[in-house]
Amino acid sequence: MKLRLLALVLPAGLLAALGGSAANARMNADTLLSQGKPVIASSIEDDTLTAAKAVDGSTSTRWASAEGSDPQWIRVDLGQPAAVGRVKLNWEAAYAKAYRIEVSDDGTTFSTVKTVADGNGATDDLTGLQGHGRYVRVVGTQRGTSYGYSLWELQVYGTTDSSGDTQAPTVPAGLKSTGATATSVALSWTASTDNIGVSGYDVLRNGTAVATTAGTAYNDTGLTANTAYQYSVRARDLAGNVSAASQPIAVTTPTGGTGGFVLAAAGDIADRCTASDPDCIHPKTAQLVQAMNPTAVITMGDNQYDDAHLSDFQNYYAKTWGKFKSITHPIPGNHETYDDTPYQGYHDYFGAIATPQGENYYSWNQGNWHFVALDSNDFVQEEGLQEPAQLTWLKQDLANNTKGCIAAYYHHPRFSSGDHGDNPDADSLWQTLVSAKTDLVLNGHDHHYERFVPQNADGDEDANGPVQIIGGMGGAPLYPVHAAHPATAKIISDFGVLKLSMTDNTFATQLIGLDGKVLDSSPTYSCH
């Protein structure tokens, strides 16, 4: 009897061993997908403990969140959809007692694939996961210590959807122009097909790729009036396979919109780091500005972090964005007030450029455009019932304006889907600008990019109102974003520089990413 039982037990044990070996083989066959990929976090403890340190392949560098706060998260972009079977977390002493692993296709809507309620630090190697998506997020819900959350390494293993794919998408068909202005051409085409999936389309103008877009439409802006252009489109898949270019079409922009010029704009720019640090962003955004060769540069406040001393400006901002100082029209943010004497470093560095009319607020003209530079710090402080002197000045300045187009820029946005949210204290500025039929309003403060459709005084969609854009992605660490406003046209949590293409009666905007690609394009708007 015992012999028969042993005979039954041995095959079962052997099968279990074989099954375990197969499982281990499958696990080991998975590829490390996260190393060196873009990563963001809900917070950082300081400038040396950035999110990128958790995916740099080194166990001597780490990410750490702000101390004493729950919940916190870190999110890595794998670059394409993948089957996620394993996540390995190498915790520093500040570990998570409770946390969850989430995946997402779009970076906004996440589903939980693993929940841990009894973490004890050290290394957590979570295998057998059944996740699929492009983004993987670790959300700490209960700290194991009084500090924050800290990871030496976050490693995501799996198999990308495009593994082994060598087949290019079909050539896009049906390319046509759906409209043209003096400075823009709108294009559309029929979607390509692919054995795995089309990831995007390259738009070629006169044989040179000028943009990559995920959809089957694109608005090419910043063009010259009464000029012939040739366009074609090619498709890409997740494995990097590229189709042949479509049949070209010719489009000639109509006459109109003269006096064109380009501006570069961003806020929240120079962190206390230099180009020798690969995670330092403001040297990279400065290169984008240089590539634009703008007529002028606009900054939307918080030009220098953290306390904006003159020494900080000289050691960091001056070495990157400072190259454009002679053509810069800056305004201050709240960090410019953190100096020992508020604004002292800002004033000492920029000199008369910061106060051309004797105050932190001023106006200037370019072509048929009137630009109003404002110091919104005046409107986020208690001043009783008296109208701030700056608001009185603004009303008079707008009344005296003789230009056909108006743009304003200041640090604190009236509406935002970002970490700081809406700012009712800036309402008097917004109301005044709407009443004056301002065309464009630029802000910073929240560290993300957000473009709104034209809005009225209440923030409702209205073609007669200004286009508001938050451009706080110039180099300081990104902030989380929340549910978008009803009037939000596009929201992106990434770094870049805003390119403004202006004519005497129109404007169009593009967000240029760190790789030089267009991340967002607005329609071409006519001035009110």
DSSP 265-293: EESS-B-S--TTSTT--HHHHHHHHHHH-
How does pLDDT run across 341-365, given as a tens digit for each residue? 999 999 999 999 999 999 999 999 9
Q: Could you tell me if 191 and 306 lie in one domain?
A: no
Residues 6+ apart with CB under 8 A from 81: 105, 132, 133, 134, 160, 161, 197, 238
Q: Could you tell me if 410 and 479 lie in one domain?
A: yes
Q: Could you tell me if 85 and 231 lie in one domain?
A: no
Mean pLDDT of 161-189: 87
The confidence band for 30, taking pLDDT boundaries of 50, 70 and 90, is: confident
Q: Could you tell me if 109 and 186 lie in one domain?
A: no
Q: Using a pLDDT cut of 70, give the percent of the chain over it.
A: 92
Number of domains in the chain: 3
Last residue of a domain, one of 222, 253, 284: 253
Last residue of a domain, one of 202, 227, 253: 253
Kindly report the CATH number assigned to the domain that includes residue 86: 2.60.120.260
Q: Could you tell me if 226 and 279 lie in one domain?
A: no
* Structure token pair of residue 269: 């720019």
The rounded radius of gyration (Å) of the Cα atoms in the chain is 26
The confidence band for 27, taking pLDDT boundaries of 50, 70 and 90, is: very low
Q: Could you tell me if 191 and 141 lie in one domain?
A: no
CA atoms within 13 Å, Cβ hemisphere of 222: 20
pLDDT of amino acid 20: 42
pLDDT of amino acid 257: 61
Kindly report the CATH number assigned to the domain that includes residue 225: 2.60.40.10
How does pLDDT run across 400-436, given as a tens digit for each residue? 998 889 999 999 999 999 999 999 988 889 999 999 9
Task: With respect to residue 217, please indicate whether it lies within any of the assigned structural domains.
Answer: yes
d(CA 43, CA 67) in angstroms, rounded, equals: 9
Q: Which of 73-87, 223-237, 254-268, 429-443 has the lowest mean pLDDT?
A: 254-268
Q: Which of 30-39, 152-161, 254-263 has the lowest mean pLDDT?
A: 254-263
Q: Could you tell me if 125 and 208 lie in one domain?
A: no
pLDDT of amino acid 230: 97
User: Is residue 78 scored above 90 in pLDDT?
Assistant: yes
Task: With respect to residue 79, please indicate whether it lies within any of the assigned structural domains.
Answer: yes
Please give the residue range of the domain that contains residue 226. 173-253
Last residue of a domain, one of 103, 126, 160: 160
Q: Could you tell me if 414 and 433 lie in one domain?
A: yes
